[in-house]
C-alpha cells in the first residue's frame, strides 16, 4: 500500500530536505499508517517524526543513496564515523569512502546482491575525511517502490577496526599458543571437566598411533586417578598441579614397555556464554603433558639390573647360608628332642640304675642346646629395605630379566602377561624380588625334576577391586592337594629325601607375603602344573592434609 504521509508539513527543518526526497516514494505499512493517523487525531507528536529522530540519533552510520550510490542523506553517526558533514558529502558517491584497497570481487558481490533486491552484508576498507583507513562492517538494503523497482539504497556501517584488531589479536595469540604447543617435544592435551579433549598437539597425536589407543589421555587419566587416589581430588579442587609422575605402560599389542613422565595443571577459564555475564561462572580445565622417558628408563634399568645381579647374588648367598644353618638346626633339634624325652621318662621312673646315663644325656642335651644357640646367632638376617610404593610389573620384569640365563639354560619359555597398567602396592622391593625369584626357581626345579616336556612359566598381573593380583604358573608336576598347606610349613619338602637345604623357600615366601598384608594360595582349579596366586592390597595415597 502506498500512502502519502499525514502531517508531513509539520516536520522540523533539519529533516525537511530528506522528506522532500523520500516522501513521494516511501511505502508505509498499513499498520504503521494507522498508528500514525491515530497519533495525529490525538494531536500527539507524530511517530514518523520519532522514527526520523531515531535514524538521526542511532549510533550507526546511516546513509541513503540513489540507485547509483550517490549520497542523499547521512545521520549524525555517519559524520562521527567518517568526519564528513552533510554539506561535504551529500551528492557525492559512496565510493568517496573507499580506501581503494578492498578487492574488486567484494564490490562486484555487493552490487550483484543489492541489484537483485537482496541485502548485502560485508566488510570494506574505508577511509575517513582525513584519509585514515578504517574497517567498515556494512549492511546495504535496497528500497523499492510499489512496482518493486529499486529506488534507493540504505547503507548502515560501523567502524570495527578496534573489534577486528582485538579479534585478530586473539586469533594470533591462539595461533602462537598452538604453534608453541605443537613445537613442544612433549605431548600436551587440555581436557574439560568431562574428560573431553579441547586441545592437543602433534606429539600427543603421535601417541595415538604409538600406543594404539584412540584417546590415550583417558587411559592415562584412569591410571593417574588410581595412582594418586585422594590426592587427585584435592589437587583438582585447589587448582594445584603435579609434576613428573612416572607412568609405566606395558606393551600394548606387543609394543614394548613405555615410560612417561606426566605433569598436570588445573586452570579455570571465564564462561563466555551470555548467561554467565553477571554470574562470572568459570570452566575448569586440566592441562596434561607427557614426556616419553622410555629411553632414559631403559638405560637406567640396565644399570639397575647390573646392580641387582650383585645384590641378588649376595642375597642368594645369605639365603643359602640361612637355609643350610636352619636345616642343620632342624636336624640337630630332632635328636635333642628325643634326648629330652628320654630324660623326662627317666626322671618319671626315678631310674637310679641309669643315673650315669641320664647325666650323660643331660650333658649332651645342654651341649646340643648351646650348639643350637651358637648356630642361631650365625643365621644371617635378610637385609631390611625401605617400604615404598612399588610397581609389581617392574619387579616381576626385573626378576625375569635376572633369571633369564637360568631360564634359557633350562629351556624354559616365559609367557609374560602383565596388565597394561598397574597401581602401586606398598612394599620392600628386595623382599618382593626374593619372593618372586623363589617361586620361579621352584617352578624351574619342579619342571626339571619331573622332566616336563612342555616347559613354560606364565606370569600375569591384573587388578581386581582393591588388589593387584600376580599369578605364576608352571607346566610341572603340580602340588598334590594334600600337600598344598604343608608346603608352607618349615622343612616340608616335596623333593626327594637326603638334602639338608630343603623346605624353607615357601616359608620365606609366606613370611614376605604376610609382611605385605598380601594373600597367597595354590590355585586348586589349575591342573596343568602349579599356579601360585598372590593378591596385594593396592596402595592408596593418604589424603593430603590442609
Ligand atoms: P565503482 O566504479 O564505483 O564500482 C566498482 C564496481 O561496482 C563496478 O565495476 C560495478 O561492477 C559495480 N557497480 C558500481 N556501481 C554500480 C551500479 N550502480 N550498479 C551495478 N553495479 C555497480 N563502497 C565503499 O568503498 N565504502 C562504503 O562505505 C560504501 N558504502 C556504500 C553504501 C551504499 C548504500 C551503496 C549502494 C554502495 C556503497 N559502496 C561503498 C560501494 C560504492 O558505491 C562503490 O561501488 C565502491 O566504493 C567501489 O568504488 P570504485 O570507484 O572503486 O568503483
The finding on whether 70 has its CB within 6 A of some atom of ligand 1 is no
The finding on whether 41 has its CB within 6 A of some atom of ligand 1 is no
The finding on whether 8 has its CB within 6 A of some atom of ligand 1 is no
User: Phi and psi dihedrals of 152, rounded to 5?
Assistant: -145, 170
Q: What is the pLDDT of residue 30?
A: 60
Instruction: Residue 543: count other Cβ atoms within 10 Å of its Cβ.
Output: 11
Shortest-distance Cα residue to atom 50 of ligand 1: 95
The finding on whether 140 has its CB within 6 A of some atom of ligand 1 is yes
Specify whether the CB–CB gap between 120 and 142 falls below 8 A. no
- The residue among 68, 74, 81, 87 whose CA lies nearest residue 15 is 74
The finding on whether 181 has its CB within 6 A of some atom of ligand 1 is no
The finding on whether 5 has its CB within 6 A of some atom of ligand 1 is no
The finding on whether 153 has its CB within 6 A of some atom of ligand 1 is yes
- The residue among 253, 198, 187 whose CA lies nearest residue 220 is 187
Could you give the CA distance from residue 247 to residue 260 in angstroms, rounded to a whole number? 5
Shortest-distance Cα residue to atom 39 of ligand 1: 94
C-beta contacts of 210-218 below 8 A and 24+ residues apart: 210/255, 210/258, 211/249, 211/252, 211/255, 211/258, 212/252, 212/253, 212/255, 213/252, 216/187, 217/189, 217/191, 217/288
Shortest-distance Cα residue to atom 33 of ligand 1: 155
Q: What is the pLDDT of residue 173?
A: 93
The finding on whether 82 has its CB within 6 A of some atom of ligand 1 is no
With the most atoms of ligand 1 within 8 angstroms of its CB, the residue from 64, 66, 68, 98 to mutate is 98
Specify whether the CB–CB gap between 503 and 483 falls below 8 A. no
Q: How far is CA 357 from its chain centroid?
A: 79
391 CA → ligand 1 middle, Å? 74
Q: What is the pLDDT of residue 542?
A: 53
Q: How far is CA 13 from its chain centroid?
A: 71
Of the CA atoms within 13 Å of residue 55, those in its CB half-sphere come to: 18
138 CA → ligand 1 middle, Å? 12
The finding on whether 81 has its CB within 6 A of some atom of ligand 1 is no
Could you give the CA distance from residue 375 to residue 325 in angstroms, rounded to a whole number? 7
Q: What is the pLDDT of residue 320?
A: 82
How many residues are present in the chain?
Answer: 546
Residue located via cell numbers 522540523: 12
The finding on whether 416 has its CB within 6 A of some atom of ligand 1 is no
108 CA → ligand 1 middle, Å? 8
- The residue among 449, 474, 470, 480 whose CA lies nearest residue 518 is 470
| CB contact set of 281 (below 8 Å; sequence gap of 6+) | 270, 271, 275
- The residue among 467, 408, 390, 403 whose CA lies nearest residue 439 is 403
Residue 344 φ/ψ region, left for φ over 0, alpha for ψ in the -120 to 50 degree band, beta for the rest: alpha
Which 8-state DSSP code applies to residue 179?
A: H
Could you give the CA distance from residue 41 to residue 318 in angstroms, rounded to a whole number? 117
User: Phi and psi dihedrals of 242, rounded to 5?
Assistant: -140, 150
The finding on whether 124 has its CB within 6 A of some atom of ligand 1 is yes
Dig out the grid coordinates for 335 from the structure: 635328636
Could you give the CA distance from residue 477 to residue 78 in angstroms, rounded to a whole number? 99
Specify whether the CB–CB gap between 510 and 492 falls below 8 A. no
107 CA → ligand 1 middle, Å? 6
Shortest-distance Cα residue to atom 14 of ligand 1: 111
Identify the three-state secondary structure at position 456.
strand
- The residue among 431, 430, 458 whose CA lies nearest residue 443 is 458
Partners of residue 242 on adjacent β-strands: 264
Shortest-distance Cα residue to atom 31 of ligand 1: 94
The finding on whether 115 has its CB within 6 A of some atom of ligand 1 is yes
The finding on whether 105 has its CB within 6 A of some atom of ligand 1 is no
Shortest-distance Cα residue to atom 49 of ligand 1: 95
Q: What is the pLDDT of residue 546?
A: 34
Specify whether the CB–CB gap between 488 and 507 falls below 8 A. yes
- The residue among 60, 97, 57, 56 whose CA lies nearest residue 73 is 56
85 CA → ligand 1 middle, Å? 21
User: Phi and psi dihedrals of 133, rounded to 5?
Assistant: -75, 150
- Atom number, ligand 1, closest to the C-alpha of residue 114: 36
pLDDT tens per residue, the chain (546 residues)?
Answer: 333 344 333 334 444 444 444 444 444 456 556 666 676 666 665 566 677 778 888 999 999 999 999 999 999 999 999 999 999 999 999 999 999 999 999 999 999 999 999 999 999 999 999 999 999 999 999 999 889 999 999 999 999 999 999 999 999 998 998 888 888 999 999 999 999 999 999 999 988 888 888 899 999 998 898 888 888 888 888 878 899 998 888 876 566 788 999 999 999 888 888 888 888 788 889 999 999 999 998 898 888 888 888 887 887 788 788 878 888 888 888 889 999 998 888 888 876 777 888 889 899 999 999 999 998 998 888 777 789 999 999 999 999 999 998 999 999 999 999 998 888 999 999 889 989 999 999 999 999 988 878 899 999 999 988 899 999 999 999 988 888 777 887 766 666 655 545 567 888 899 899 999 999 999 999 999 999 999 999 987 654 333
Strands of 375-518, DSSP E = 387-390, 413-417, 425-428, 456-464, 467-474
The finding on whether 97 has its CB within 6 A of some atom of ligand 1 is yes
- Atom number, ligand 1, closest to the C-alpha of residue 111: 21
Q: What is the pLDDT of residue 345?
A: 86
Of the CA atoms within 13 Å of residue 98, those in its CB half-sphere come to: 12
The finding on whether 120 has its CB within 6 A of some atom of ligand 1 is no
Residue located via cell numbers 585514515: 132
User: Phi and psi dihedrals of 362, rounded to 5?
Assistant: -60, -40
The finding on whether 95 has its CB within 6 A of some atom of ligand 1 is yes
Q: What is the pLDDT of residue 218?
A: 93
Q: pTM higher than 0.85 for the full model?
A: no
Shortest-distance Cα residue to atom 3 of ligand 1: 95
Could you give the CA distance from residue 70 to residue 63 in angstroms, rounded to a whole number? 10
Q: What is the pLDDT of residue 25?
A: 42
The finding on whether 66 has its CB within 6 A of some atom of ligand 1 is no
Amino acid at each position: 500500500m502506498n500512502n502519502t504521509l499525514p502531517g508531513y508539513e509539520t516536520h522540523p527543518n533539519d529533516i525537511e530536505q530528506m522528506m522532500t526526497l523520500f516522501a513521494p516514494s516511501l511505502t508505509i505499512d498499513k499498520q504503521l499508517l494507522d498508528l500514525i493517523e491515530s497519533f495525529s487525531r490525538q494531536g500527539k507528536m507524530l511517530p514518523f517524526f520519532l522514527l526520523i529522530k531515531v535514524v538521526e540519533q542511532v549510533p550507526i552510520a546511516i546513509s541513503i543513496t540513489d540507485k547509483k550510490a550517490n549520497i542523499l542523506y547521512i545521520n549524525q553517526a555517519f559524520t562521527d564515523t567518517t568526519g564528513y558533514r552533510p554539506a561535504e558529502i551529500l551528492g557525492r558517491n559512496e565510493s568517496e569512502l573507499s580506501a581503494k584497497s578492498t578487492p574488486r570481487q567484494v564490490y562486484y558481490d555487493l552490487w550483484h546482491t543489492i541489484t537483485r533486491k537482496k541485502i548485502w552484508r560485508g566488510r570494506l576498507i574505508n577511509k575517513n575525511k582525513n584519509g585514515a583507513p578504517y574497517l567498515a562492517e556494512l549492511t546495504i538494503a535496497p528500497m523499492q517502490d510499489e512496482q518493486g523497482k529499486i529506488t534507493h539504497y540504505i547503507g548502515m556501517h560501523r567502524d570495527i577496526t578496534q573489534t577486528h584488531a582485538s579479534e585478530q589479536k586473539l586469533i594470533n595469540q591462539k595461533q602462537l599458543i598452538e604453534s608453541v604447543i605443537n613445537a613442544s617435544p612433549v605431548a600436551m592435551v587440555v581436557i574439560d571437566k568431562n574428560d573431553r579433549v579441547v586441545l592437543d598437539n602433534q606429539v600427543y597425536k603421535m601417541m595415538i598411533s604409538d600406543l594404539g589407543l584412540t584417546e590415550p589421555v583417558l587411559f592415562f587419566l584412569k591410571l593417574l586417578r588410581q595412582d594418586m587416589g585422594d590426592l587427585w581430588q584435592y589437587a583438582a579442587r585447589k587448582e594445584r598441579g603435579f609434576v613428573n609422575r612416572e607412568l609405566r605402560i606395558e606393551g600394548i599389542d606387543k609394543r614394548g614397555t613405555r615410560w612417561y613422565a606426566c605433569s598436570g595443571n588445573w586452570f579455570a577459564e571465564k564462561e563466555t556464554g551470555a548467561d554467565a555475564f553477571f554470574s562470572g561462572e568459570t570452566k575448569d580445565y586440566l592441562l596434561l603433558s607427557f614426556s616419553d622417558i622410555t629411553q632414559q628408563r631403559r638405560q637406567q634399568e640396565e644399570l639397575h639390573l647390573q646392580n641387582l645381579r650383585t645384590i641378588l647374588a649376595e642375597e642368594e648367598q645369605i639365603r643359602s647360608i640361612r637355609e643350610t644353618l636352619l636345616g642343620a638346626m632342624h636336624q640337630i633339634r630332632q635328636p635333642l628332642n628325643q634326648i629330652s624325652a628320654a630324660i623326662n621318662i627317666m626322671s618319671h621312673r626315678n631310674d637310679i640304675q641309669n643315673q650315669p646315663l641320664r647325666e650323660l644325656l643331660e650333658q649332651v642335651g645342654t651341649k646340643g642346646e648351646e650348639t643350637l644357640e651358637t648356630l642361631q646367632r650365625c643365621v644371617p638376617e635378610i637385609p631390611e629395605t625401605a617400604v615404598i610404593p612399588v610397581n609389581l610389573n617392574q619387579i616381576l620384569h626385573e626378576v625375569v630379566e635376572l633369571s633369564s640365563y637360568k631360564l634359557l639354560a633350562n629351556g624354559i619359555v616365559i609367557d609374560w602377561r602383565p596388565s597394561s597398567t598397574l597401581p602401586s602396592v606398598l612394599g620392600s622391593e628386595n623382599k618382593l624380588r626374593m619372593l618372586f625369584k623363589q617361586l620361579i626357581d621352584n617352578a624351574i626345579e619342579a619342571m626339571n625334576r619331573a622332566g616336563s616336556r612342555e616347559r613354560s612359566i606364565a606370569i600375569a598381573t591384573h587388578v581386581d577391586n582393591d588388589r593387584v593380583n600376580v599369578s605364576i604358573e608352571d607346566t610341572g608336576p603340580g602340588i598334590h592337594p594334600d600337600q598344598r598347606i604343608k608346603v608352607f610349613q618349615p622343612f616340608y619338602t616335596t623333593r626327594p629325601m637326603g638334602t639338608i637345604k630343603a623346605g624353607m623357600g615357601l616359608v620365606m615366601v609366606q613370611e614376605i607375603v604376610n609382611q605385605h598384608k598380601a594373600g597367597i594360595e595354590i590355585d586348586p582349579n589349575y591342573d596343568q602344573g602349579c599356579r601360585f596366586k598372590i593378591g596385594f592390597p593396592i596402595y592408596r595415597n593418604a589424603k593430603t592434609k590442609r
